[in-house]
Each structure stands twice: as C-alpha cells, then as structure tokens.
Amino acid sequence: MSETKNVLVAEDVVVKFVGDSGDGMQLTGTLFSDTVAYDHNDLTTFPDYPAEIRAPQNTIAGVSGFQVHFGSKKILTFGDLCQTLVAMNPASLKANLKWAEKGAYIIVDADLFTDAYNEKAGYKTNPLTDGSLSEYKLAAVPMISLTKEAVKHLEMDNKSVIKSKNMFSLGICLYLYSKTLDHAIKHIDSKFAKKPQLAELNKTVLKAGYEYAEKSPIFDTIFQVNAADVEKGNYRNIHGNQATAWGLIAAAEKAKLQLFLGSYPITPATEILMELAKHKSLGVKVIQYEDEIAGICGAIGASFAGSLACTTTSGPGLSLKSEAMGLAVITELPLVIVNVQRGGPSTGLPTKSEQSDLMQALFGRNGEAPMVVISSSSPVDCFYKAFFAAKIALEHMVPVILLTEGALGFGSELFRIPKMSELPEINPPMATPNDPDFKPYRRDPETLVRQWATPGTEGLRHRIGGLEKEDIIGNVSTDPLNHEKMTYYRAEKVARVVKKIPDQELYGDATGDLLIVSWGSTQGSVYSAVRKLREDGYKVSQAHFSYLNPLPKNTEEVLSGFKHICVCELNSGQLVNWLKMNFNKHDYSQYNKVQGLPFLKSELLAHFTNLLKK
Amino acid sequence: MAENINLTVDRSNVELTKADFVSDQMVKWCPGCGAHAILAAVANVFPKIGYRKENFMMVSGIGCSSRFPYYVNTYGFHSIHGRANPIATGMKVANPHLSVWVATGDGDSMAIGGNHFIHVIRRNVDINIMLFNNQIYGLTKGQYSPTTPMGMVTKTSPQGTIEHPFTAGELVLGAQGSFFARVVDTDVKMMTEVMFEAARHDGTSVVEIMQNCIIFNDKTHALITAKETKDEYQLKLRNGEPMIFGANRDKGIRLNGTQLEVVTIGQNGITENDLLVHDQYQQDPGIHLMLAKMAPPKYPMAMGVIRSANYPTYDDMVEMQIDYAKANSKIKCMDDLLNSGEVFAI
C-alpha cells in the first residue's frame, strides 16, 4: 500500500456498480461482495436489473446495477446513497448519479464518454468535463485503453479483451477498500478452469486495475472496513429466493415428508423454482407446469397425496391462483403459497419491489376464505419464515401465504448457517390406518385441525373437494346451518394459529409518543431511523410485524402504549387499514411510498421528526 | 406394450369384487343419463385391475361427469372447473404407487381446462382420463360446448353455433398422446374392455366416452347408438384384425392414396386383403389420427383402442432423475446443503 494515501476507517459503506446489461456488473458486484464477506464484513447486496434482457446499448433502459452495503457493524438495509459509484458508460452514470453521496468516488470508463454516447444517454455536454461532477471525486479512467494495454502480450481477440474490462473496475474497487485479490482470482480460476487463456486474461486485467488505483493520485483516500462483530459460526452469503427454497426443503426434512413444488416462471420469483429444481438428491419433486393455475393445482394434488406441497409466484400469478387457494381452504389441506411481491397492478413493474399484495393475500378469494399470512423481513429471514409457513401449514392443515418481496428475493445478506437440530420439530396430524373413528372433517377440539389421511392408507378411503361438506362426516352438504358452521370453523381455525405465533416484539420502550409500525423489507430502514431518533432523545419505538394473519395476540397491548401510531409501507396503505379493522380505538397515520423503491432512512427521519414536533 | 403392467402400483393381496368399490352415496345423475353405464363399467374394471383398493384415486373437475368420485368408494377429490388433470398429475408424481383416474367432460377438459388437457398428455403422466363427451354443458343446463356440432341450436346459440368443434382424438394425438380410445355409453362390455386396457397402459390414457345427455342433447350420438344404424356407423377396432364393419360385415376401410376410403368387400374386386389391419401399438400416429377423425355420415366412427403406443412416462422419469441424483450427489441432507459451496467461519 502506498504511503502517501490517507486511510479512512469506515463503519459502513455502500458501493454501487452500474453499466450496460452486457457489461458484467452482476458478476463484478458478486465478486466484490463475496470478497468482503470472506473478509468478515457484514453485508447486504441488491441487484437492480432492467426488465429487458439486452436493451439497446448505452441506453437508460439497459442499465444494470449491483449495490453492496457492507460494514464492521450489523448491516440492516441495502443502503441509501453510495460512497463509490462505478459507472461503465454515460447512460449508467446518468441513471445513477442521484444515488451517489456528495463527495463520493465516481469511477467511469472515460473511453465511452464520446459525443455520440453522451448524446444517446441524454447528456448535452460531456459530464466528465463540463463541471457537473465537481462535487464528487471523479476518476475518469480510460478503462478500455488501459485494459488493452495491460493484455497486449496475451494476443487475445478484441471482443474478449473489451469484455474483461469489468475486472479492471473490480481491481480498482478492491484496492480502494483495502481488500485482497485472492478471492476474485480463485473464482476466475475455477470459472475458467477449462479456458486457461480467459483465466489469464481476466486475472491480468484485475491486477492491472488494482495497480492502476494504487498509483493513481486521484485515489488519495482509501477505506478500511474492519471485521464485523457478529456471532461466531459458519457463514455464507444467501439471496432471499434461495433462502425461501432452502427453508421449504428444511421443513420437509423436519416433517419427514417429500417436498413438492408446482410452479410457473415469473419475475421475481423464478429463482425459487430454479433453486428447488436443483435439489433432487434431497427428494424434491418439481413440476414446471403449463401455467400458474396448474402450478397450484398440482401442489394441491400432491398435498392430498401426502407431500409438503408448495407453489411460488408473484402478484399476477397470485391472482391466477385465487380460485385454487379457495379449494385449499375448503379442503383444509396444507399448502405453502409464496408470493414474491412486485409492483402492480397487472404486469406492473416486474423487476421492482412493492408491498401491495397484502390485501389480496388477506381477502383475495371468493366466499369467505381466510388464510394464514406471514411475511419475511430480510433475505435470511426468508429461510426462517418459509420454514415456519410450512410448519403452520402442515400442523394446522391450512394453506399459508408467505409474502416476500422482489427486493428480498434478489437481495442477499450474510447467513449464519443453522444446524438442522436447532430448528423446531414439525408434526403433521396424520390419521391412523384403519381408524374406525376417522371422518374427513372430524376436528381436534383444541385447534380445530382435521386429520390428514393420504391415499394408499388402509381403511381411510374418503372424498373431499370444493363443494361445501357436512361437518365431521364430509359428505356434500347444502344445509344452511352447516354452511354457516363450517364458515366459522374455517375462520376460527386460522384464528387459533395465534397460539403458535410469537408475541409482537417492540424495539424501544413499551410506551411513548410515537410507535412506528412496519412490515416486510422495510424493517432495517425503519429501524435505522427510529434508532437515530431514540439516540436524539425522542420517545419513539418500532413494532415490525411479520405475522399478518392472525396478528399476534398482544397486538392490542403493544399499540395501546403510544399516543400516535404511524404505519409505514411500500404501498398506499394496506396494513394500516388491516390494523384499523382489528384495533380501531387508536390514533393512526400512514407513511407510504409506491415507486418500486425502498424507503430511504433520510426521508423516514424527516417524516418522523415532523410527526414528533406536532 | 400391452403386456406391460404398471409395476409401481401396489398389488392387492386379496381378490376384490364390485362390492369393494360401492359408495354409500345416492347417485344423483338424471335417470337415463349415460353416466350410469360408465359407472357400471368402472365397477367392473376396478376389482379386476389387481391394485390395492386404497391405491385408487378418483379425481374430477366440475360438471355432471365430475360428480363421479362420490359414487365410487376410493380416495376421491372433486376439484374445480378444468383443473382435474394438473391435480391428478401432482398426485401421481407425489405418489407413483397410486392408480389415478380422472373423470372429466368436454367442457371441463376441452374448454376451461383445455390447456391442462394437452399438457398432461404431452407429459405422458401415467393417469387414466375418462372423457365424458355429451357435446353440451349439462350441469349449467344446455349451453354449447367445444364439441357441439357446428350449427346446433342451444341456449347460447339460438341461431346455431358458429364454432368449429374439437375432435377429442385430434387434440389427444396432436398433443402426442400415447393412448386414445373411443367407446359409447350404450356398450358396457366394450367400455369395460377398453378401460381395462387403459388401466394397463403406462402413460396418459384418454378414453373418450360418447355419452348421451337425455335432457339437453338427447340422441346426439344416435347414428352410432340406434339399433337400425349403429352397425353401419361403428367400426369396432381390434388389434391385428382388418377393419371390417356393417350389419353384414361386408364393409371395410382401406387406404386409397393418402386418404381412408370406405369399400364394400366383394365389389370392384375388393377382398379382405385390401383392408387396413389395425395396429394400435405403432409409434407413428398417422393412421391413428385418420381413424380418430373419421365421422358419420361419410365414414363409420372408429371405436375401441385407436392408439396405444409405448413411451416413457413422466412420473417414471421423475423417479429416475431423483434416484440418479440421490446416488450421485454429495448432498444427502439439509445440513449438507447448508454447508455446501462457499462457506466460511467467523
């Protein structure tokens, strides 16, 4: 390390890589984040893809990004503004400069800031020279030229050489954050094990970037992020969708059942389907069906046949599954429906995140068809909530909706690997073969749960289906009083799940001026804002809800401790109305954002401060 | 081939009888409905297949046909409109030891469930589909269905339908079906034989049952059912036998150029040797498709097993992939998976 550099010790930093969708920014970001994870920093990552696979080059529509938030403290959010922005072309700079902090390093490939490219990106003048970046630390690096220069001796084709320039930017960033090249080199070696020439090329460019940054006077300040003080154990980086898939496999293993997934590809949920398709060695059966409806119907069939059955989707797919969800409700079969929420309505914003399917999850079915609804609040939490959703579904013979979000599914964080022995047991209510007292709708008096008699079991042949059934006996029944009774049973059965749901926790004191309520992916940003206000002496607390139906049994008590309650959501106000329906004597307001973007800590702070001043 | 018997399904140790499948439910189809005869045929078939009675799974969608699960004592699932086929697929893949039967109709499987119908066939999941084709919506009281003949007046086509009807066999073979048979609800004996063959077939079997709806579409299949005409309009196919029909068994089917042709034996020098010999097992579906499309009055209607070709089944391949993965993967349990790949200690 050069002696002339200032080394700044940072508690947490945000680095964002952006470029054309063909520039390899996802790989660059992944290698960078894996390196910081190996270096024992805590981290989250958040990719930002365009909806198009390959939009026209150097256009805003084609910008692909990858954000890494890492630090020596617990990292709770994907990060608001970045301290380093790597922009590989004018369009990506144009689209992302607003996410860079004043004073941030802006590292660009200067070779691409030509008049034609600048104009295509919507710049009237060259941003590198017109003074518009004067408030930032601009590193205008002629990356293509430097890459070509560095690998001249390898005599490789031009296309491969230019493609490798992302390694140049990675080299710069690894130097800038005092990280070694070891992990990246290891990865390149294994990725190109059969193409040693390409391995050599990429490693040479990576080192060239690192050495360039070391020598360049513009990088006069470099950063040191110390190891995070996290619980000891084995760790890995995990994406939310992968975590959801793993949580389901873990639940099947605990319940000693086969896992069955019926699904259909849909952004941003497809990764769960792809992940589960990989794990046939664990007995996971996956059918990629012809449509969303078939996906859930297949799962219902597999559930009747005795599997832990799941279906995975996103908003429009959840709409298509509505009728079949009603079938799962009336047949009282275990089923996990994962909805990775995206912006709506209709096709909406497929690659952007939102929390706008809560009301649909609670009510979006014909007739009265109540379902258990659970949400997850971070990529790692997707593992535990998927496991819990399966546990509830199996033990209570009910369909359960797990709401995650695109941001959680695509985002990643450090996962302390649990041992399977640490996870709770799952005990489905299997019927006993040849039980003379078996009836399809006979219920446990405590939980109202019926028994699970799977085809093949001796002495328990029976029929169920979508028509209303007679209490206990299970024959088709149109009797008015029976229908009313069964309707209340179905509702009460869901309500009694509350006994297995942990009490609602509070961050902060149990009483105060203001309670901030959040759910889903916003936990970290809301927490950061509330913590700041508490440090400043305000009487504010946070209640982050994961269990949305039934709501935890102490909810009323938690809400009662505060003069005012503000419910923050990435929709126009859904949880707030659900709370008002259930607990109507409190003073509520709401804070919403429906832009397909997460809350910024700064905007939350500003809003909460205003509320507290009133 | 025909001798292949599905080995994944558990055999019964005891001889079963009709009584083992009698349901305690009152059968609520209209008196005179063709469905009663279908139920009788199923009651003949199930005890003979030899599977444990607990391993039968009867699935249905919505419509008159879909009340079927209540009337036979098996594990039963009466689902939602059009979705019996994907549900049955899930059941069979989840538990390949089950003998899975679907009772469905022309509306259920060819209108609202049309997409699922072609895909279950394409996958060749080892299930048995009984397709009740009465060419009308009965349960909703008389609207046209995807198989209603063009021009027919129904409650939703007061001036006659202007839709081209589907032929079930064309859809099945178009979707690469491995088994297709056609029977008529008036012939319990043939239904019994054909369903038995369907049960023994590995893969998706579709048995189209030309069914009479006595209330909303009476005598829709009259040409092939009426005493006076049925022999002239039914070609009963038998594997390995020439295609002969007619009250006097003097008519036959031959291939003339690229088309099927009805000929009379003894006329213009035609002998039995000129007739097509039925080969239900041949892989090429060309002749099977031509047979499935034959319709009165120009042709007789082909009855019996039209196609029964041998292909790997979806559920078998699922098991094979899982067995292979279990034998070859280092990941044997969830703890292995959690600790696989890039893991580091802090």
Instruction: Indicate yes or no: CB of A465 within 8 angstroms of CB of B78.
Output: yes
Q: For residue B110, give both structure tokens.
A: 């060819």
pLDDT the model gives residue A51: 65
Q: Nearest CA to CA, how far is A248 from chain B (Å)? A: 10
For A388-426, the pLDDT digits (tens) are 999 999 999 999 999 999 999 999 999 999 999 999 999
Q: Which residues pair with A497 in a beta bridge?
A: none
**Percent over 70 (pLDDT), chain A:** 99
- Which superfamily does CATH assign the domain made up of A236-422 to? Thiamin diphosphate (ThDP)-binding fold, Pyr/PP domains (3.40.50.970)
Instruction: Indicate yes or no: CB of B94 within 8 angstroms of CB of A236.
Output: no
For A27-58, the pLDDT digits (tens) are 999 999 999 998 999 999 998 877 666 778 88
Q: For residue B338, give both structure tokens.
A: 């959690």
How many Å apart are CA A590 and CA A507, to the nearest integer?
A: 19
pLDDT the model gives residue A174: 98
Q: In the predicted model, is pLDDT for residue B212 greater than 70?
A: yes
Count residue pairs from A and B with Cβ separation < 8 A: 200
Per-residue pLDDT, averaged over A512-535, amounts to 97
On whether the CB atoms of residues B90 and B3 are closer than 8 A, the answer is no
Q: Which residues pair with A333 in a beta bridge?
A: none
- Mutate: best of B10, B51, B83, B98, partner A, most A CBs <10 A: B83
Where does chain B show beta strands of DSSP type E?
Answer: 56-60, 75-78, 99-105, 128-133, 179-184, 205-210, 234-236, 244-245, 251-256, 259-264, 301-308, 344-345
Residue of A nearest to B345 (CA): A234
Task: Please identify which residue in the block is written with the tokens 């006996």.
Answer: A473
Q: Nearest CA to CA, how far is B158 from chain A (Å)? A: 31
For A444-485, the pLDDT digits (tens) are 999 999 999 999 999 999 999 999 999 999 999 999 999 999
Q: Nearest CA to CA, how far is A592 from chain B (Å)? A: 37
Q: In the predicted model, is pLDDT for residue B6 greater than 70?
A: no
Report whether CATH 3.40.50.920 matches the domain A512-613: yes
* Distances from the Cα of B291 to the Cα of B187, B237, B279, B280, B305, angstroms: 20, 10, 11, 11, 11
Q: Nearest CA to CA, how far is B345 from chain A (Å)? A: 4
| A43 DSSP 8-state letter | E
Q: At residue B125, what is the residue type?
A: V
On whether the CB atoms of residues A394 and A257 are closer than 8 A, the answer is yes
Of all helices (H) and strands (E), which one includes residue A26?
helix A25-38
- Mutate: best of A234, A239, A290, partner B, most B CBs <10 A: A290
Phi/psi zone of residue A40: left (φ > 0), alpha (ψ -120 to 50 degrees), beta?
Answer: left
DSSP string, A553-564: TTHHHHHHTEEE
For A62-103, the pLDDT digits (tens) are 899 999 999 999 999 999 999 999 999 999 999 999 999 999
Residue of B73, B331, B345 lying closest to A234 (CB–CB): B345
Residue A236's CB is within 10 A of a number of other CB atoms, namely 19
Per-residue pLDDT, averaged over B129-138, amounts to 96
Nearest to B34, CA basis, from B161, B191, B147, B181: B191
A positions 462-491 inside 8 Å of B (CB)? 462-467, 475-476
Instruction: Indicate yes or no: CB of B343 within 8 angstroms of CB of A301.
Output: no
Phi/psi zone of residue A137: left (φ > 0), alpha (ψ -120 to 50 degrees), beta?
Answer: beta
Q: In the predicted model, is pLDDT for residue A221 greater than 70?
A: yes
Peptide bond before B297: cis, by omega within 30 degrees of 0? yes
Q: Give chain A's mean pLDDT.
A: 96
Instruction: Indicate yes or no: CB of B337 within 8 angstroms of CB of A282.
Output: yes
Q: In the predicted model, is pLDDT for residue A281 greater than 70?
A: yes
Q: At residue A358, what is the residue type?
A: L
How, if at all, do strands B99-105 and B56-60 pair? parallel
* Distances from the Cα of A208 to the Cα of A108, A148, A212, A343, B159, angstroms: 16, 10, 6, 42, 80
Orientation angle between helical segments A25-38 and A182-191, nearest 10 degrees: 130
Instruction: Indicate yes or no: CB of A461 within 8 angstroms of CB of B78.
Output: no
B positions 239-298 inside 8 Å of A (CB)? none
Burial (0-12, 13-18, 19+ Cβ within 10 Å), A418: middle
B positions 79-108 inside 8 Å of A (CB)? 79-80, 83, 86-91, 93-95, 97-98
How, if at all, do strands B179-184 and B128-133 pair? unpaired
pLDDT the model gives residue B2: 37
| B22 DSSP 8-state letter | B
* Residue count (chain B): 346
The answer to whether domain A236-422 and domain A512-613 are alike in fold is: yes
DSSP string, A317-344: HHHHTHHHHHHHHHHT--EEEEEEE-B-
How many Å apart are CA B344 and CA A37, to the nearest integer?
A: 9
**In the 3-class helix/strand/coil scheme, how is A474-539 assigned residue by residue?**
CCECCCHHHHHHHHHHHHHHHHHHHHHCCCCCCECCCCEEEEEEEEHHHHHHHHHHHHHHHHCCCC
How many Å apart are CA A428 and CA A433, to the nearest integer?
A: 15
Residue A76's CB is within 10 A of a number of other CB atoms, namely 22
Per-residue pLDDT, averaged over B97-114, amounts to 97
Q: Where are the domains of chain B?
A: 18-220
On whether the CB atoms of residues A231 and B338 are closer than 8 A, the answer is no
pLDDT the model gives residue B9: 74
* Residue count (chain A): 614
**Percent over 90 (pLDDT), chain B:** 92
On whether the CB atoms of residues A450 and A464 are closer than 8 A, the answer is no
Q: For residue B311, give both structure tokens.
A: 């292909």
Where does A363-511 show beta strands of DSSP type E?
Answer: 372-375, 399-405, 412-416, 463-465
pLDDT the model gives residue A210: 98
Chain A residues within 8 A of B74 when measuring between CB atoms:
461
pLDDT the model gives residue A47: 86
Task: Please identify which residue in the block is written with the tokens 């097992």.
Answer: B281
Nearest to A45, CA basis, from A59, A60, A31: A31
Instruction: Indicate yes or no: CB of B342 within 8 angstroms of CB of A34.
Output: yes
DSSP string, B96-121: TTSEEEEEEEHHIIIIITHHHHHHHH
- Which superfamily does CATH assign the domain made up of B18-220 to? Thiamin diphosphate (ThDP)-binding fold, Pyr/PP domains (3.40.50.970)
Residue A386's CB is within 10 A of a number of other CB atoms, namely 30
Instruction: Indicate yes or no: CB of A298 within 8 angstroms of CB of B343.
Output: no
Q: Where are the domains of chain A?
A: 6-224, 236-422, 429-500, 512-613
Instruction: Indicate yes or no: CB of B90 within 8 angstroms of CB of A250.
Output: no
Residue of A280, A457, A464 lying closest to B54 (CB–CB): A457
Instruction: Indicate yes or no: CB of A456 within 8 angstroms of CB of B54.
Output: yes
Burial (0-12, 13-18, 19+ Cβ within 10 Å), A137: middle
On whether the CB atoms of residues B183 and B303 are closer than 8 A, the answer is yes
pLDDT the model gives residue A60: 86
pLDDT the model gives residue A3: 57
A positions 408-437 inside 8 Å of B (CB)? 417-420
Q: Which residues pair with A544 in a beta bridge?
A: A518
For B155-166, the pLDDT digits (tens) are 999 999 999 999
pLDDT the model gives residue B8: 65
Q: Which residues pair with B254 in a beta bridge?
A: B261
Per-residue pLDDT, averaged over A484-500, amounts to 98
Q: In the predicted model, is pLDDT for residue A297 greater than 60?
A: yes
For Cα atoms B295, B127, B327, give the angle at the middle one, nearest 5 degrees. 140
B positions 27-66 inside 8 Å of A (CB)? 52-60, 62
How many Å apart are CA A44 and CA B73, to the nearest integer?
A: 56
End-to-end CA distance of chain A: 53
Residue of A262, A331, A419 lying closest to B90 (CB–CB): A262
For Cα atoms A137, A139, A140, give the angle at the middle one, nearest 5 degrees. 135
Instruction: Indicate yes or no: CB of B346 within 8 angstroms of CB of A420.
Output: no
- Which superfamily does CATH assign the domain made up of A6-224 to? Pyruvate-ferredoxin oxidoreductase, PFOR, domain III (3.40.920.10)
Q: Which residues pair with A404 in a beta bridge?
A: A340
Instruction: Indicate yes or no: CB of B69 within 8 angstroms of CB of A465.
Output: yes
| B31 DSSP 8-state letter | T
pLDDT the model gives residue A588: 98
Q: At residue A160, what is the residue type?
A: S
Interchain contact A305–B (C-beta under 8 A): yes
A positions 316-355 inside 8 Å of B (CB)? 323-324, 327, 331
Q: For residue A45, give both structure tokens.
A: 């990552």
For A321-362, the pLDDT digits (tens) are 999 999 999 999 999 999 999 999 999 999 899 999 999 999
Q: For residue A265, give both structure tokens.
A: 């590809």
Interchain contact A3–B (C-beta under 8 A): no
Q: Nearest CA to CA, how far is A417 from chain B (Å)? A: 6
